[in-house]
Structure 1
């Protein structure tokens, strides 16, 4: 038997088909209730701290095992290599922290040509309202075109500013009519 034969046998042993000794089938995977990934992959999730809290509450044995593995990895100094992206791909998604912006909705009218105008609504996203859904609602409610044009801006074709003071609180109960501010006629930039 030569060295090549020994190397081939060890590779063949590692790549054997069928069940392996010492493994119980079917293999049971444990999933995190927060990120819905297997618990081994929670560390790659942007909100890893929340995953840890969930694991500590619902799976204390697995949480202790992961905690011991983290401490061992920190002692080895391999933690930074694991977190940093090496090549290609998007890497970890960064969670945007919401700024503490005052909750108010601004409604204004802007001229569009000589006789036509548009109504501009800003501030709906401070109430965690999906702007696409709101634009679709305004378009069907007022039978006109409506679109999301900026980070927090919806443009409705036509002058429907006065109607919005009744429609917005009616559709979204968390918005009070006092929060809606009329900016009057504005020039669009």
Structure 2
């Protein structure tokens, strides 16, 4: 059931830079490897509600309910704009600076989880991604979806760890140039804002 085709598809999807990757990179550059690990963990756990929704069929409800989709989407847009502000303002949670105070692991993980939880398109995405790789036996559909989802989450965590590790390794070089730090902060803020704008125009 866990075919090579599924693994390749999942890896390609996970490798594609998105909001979670951006968050993990920002934490790795701003606070080091430990913070990047917790960022990766939080982003991975944030996938869980969407996988559960896809497995239980709730994703179809979200997709068909314009009001519910709009509420979750609006919260997601506002949260991404908040992260953009956190990257831009002095002393913000995502600001890259040698003076940045290390945040608690729980806070970092919570913020990462919210990034994915507040993205309503993820539930619909998993509803489309996983079924083609099922055996076709209705009696085992739920268990197979659960297994495929667990593998996807595992791949997500590993790939995000790699992103965070390389960001943490680059941290010492980045902090050596105030100009680079300034433009990185602006860049992260701009990308978060752009992702918020893209989510804002998404339709159910």
Larger Rg belongs to:
1
Structure number with the higher helix fraction is: 2
Task: Calculate the TM-score normalised by the size of structure 2.
Answer: 0.20
Q: When you count strand as a share of all residues, which structure comes out higher?
A: 1
